[in-house]
Structure 1
Amino acid sequence: MKIRPILIVILQLFLGGMMIYGSVSKFETPFAEPQEVVDRAQKYLDQDLEHISKLVLYVSGMKQTGYLWLLLGISELIFGLLVIWKKTSLIGGLLLLPITLNIFLFHVFLEPDNVGELFLTFGLLVANVIIVLFRSKPYNYLITQ
């Protein structure tokens, strides 16, 4: 029995499960009022916690648009489901690449102190890249001559 296909299935379940879990949480939390967001960001600035203030403003800014946070949640849900199924895992993986890259860079630049989340988000990005590389092998003839 080959270990590589089993590893890929485990990575698909990991990535898809994390995306589905993350998408569900985006629909549960109510959006804060704009003045609440500004007050909370100012409170962190007054405490010399500029990186937390940036984090609050970034996430709340996506929520305040009225559609971007929900669009991100719907995208994570759909692409996470696509990654889990073998026949659609390449499409789901390709569509998830910018999302997992953004999640990783978000944590690198806005939460560099939280090492556990950095490793988790780096794991998501690496799992996504491995899935795309493994599932795209049958289509390499389209690129090479």
Structure 2
Amino acid sequence: MEANYTAGLKFKIFNIAIKLFLGGMLFYGGIAKFQNPLPKPDSLIEQVKSGQEIAADTDMLMIKNYIFGMQQTNYFWQFLGFTELFAGTLILSQIFSIAGAFIALPLTINIFLFHLFLEPGEDGELYLTLALLFANIWVVFMAYEKWKSILVDQSAIQFKAN
């Protein structure tokens, strides 16, 4: 009996640790989006005109162009930061972690794919973002019993004879 209690307690602690990791990383990523002022819309063009090196290689240029494009929309970079902060806060609260995990799922997929396709040589970051994605999937999967009724309306598949 005590072995089951200990195993259950360890499992709960593991789940809390996963949520703290996921929520903390998202919260940190959201804060980082607001750390530096956004560049001016023509700053990249001015760098090219003045002959400054923008990136050391093509891979770095693709990364800079991708991030610069999000920043230049004047809303998306901030929206991304706010969404990361919001999802991270919900997950860290432990009470609303399921909602936060669902909000964060498209974000963590995109973060992983960004590192997979735009930074394939950065193994450490790739493994970290993969762990972030797996943590997000874990939180969603572990809450399956709580949200599965949303997917299937049982009353819609019940047939009653008149």
The answer to whether the superposition gives a TM-score over 0.5 is yes
Q: Deviations over 1:76-121 (max 9, x none)?
A: 0011011122331111101100000000000011111111100110
Q: Give the ranges of 4+ consecutive aligned residues of structure 1 lying more than 2 Å apart after TM superposition.
A: 33-40, 42-45, 136-145
For residue 61 of structure 1, the aligned residue among 54, 63, 69 is 69
Alignment partners' CA distance in 1, 2:70 and 2:92:
27
The structure with more radius of gyration? 2
Equivalent in the alignment of 1:72: 80
For residue 29 of structure 1, the aligned residue among 32, 36, 41 is 36
1:93 aligns with 2:81: no
| 3-state SS of 1:59 partner | helix
| 3-state SS of 1:22 partner | helix
Aligned in 2, Cα 1:142/1:67: closer, same or farther, shift over 3 Å? Answer: closer
1:136 aligns with 2:138: no
Unmatched tracts of structure 1, length 5 or more: none
Q: 1:95-114 maps to which residues of 2 (within 5 A)?
A: 95-114=103-122
Letter in 2 for 1:120: L
Aligned in 2, Cα 1:78/1:142: closer, same or farther, shift over 3 Å? Answer: closer
| 3-state SS of 1:27 partner | coil
Deviation at 1:137, TM superposition (A): 2.3
For residue 11 of structure 1, the aligned residue among 11, 18, 28 is 18
Alignment partners' CA distance in 2, 1:132 and 1:78:
17
TM-score (norm 2): 0.80
| 3-state SS of 2:95 partner | helix
| 3-state SS of 2:33 partner | helix
Letter in 2 for 1:16: G
Aligned in 2, Cα 1:72/1:141: closer, same or farther, shift over 3 Å? Answer: closer
Aligned in 2, Cα 1:115/1:141: closer, same or farther, shift over 3 Å? Answer: same
| Structure with more helix by fraction | 1
Unmatched tracts of structure 2, length 5 or more: 1-5, 155-162
Deviation at 1:44, TM superposition (A): 4.9
TM-score (norm 1): 0.88
CA contact (8 A) 1:90 1:136 kept: no
CA contact (8 A) 1:16 1:81 kept: yes
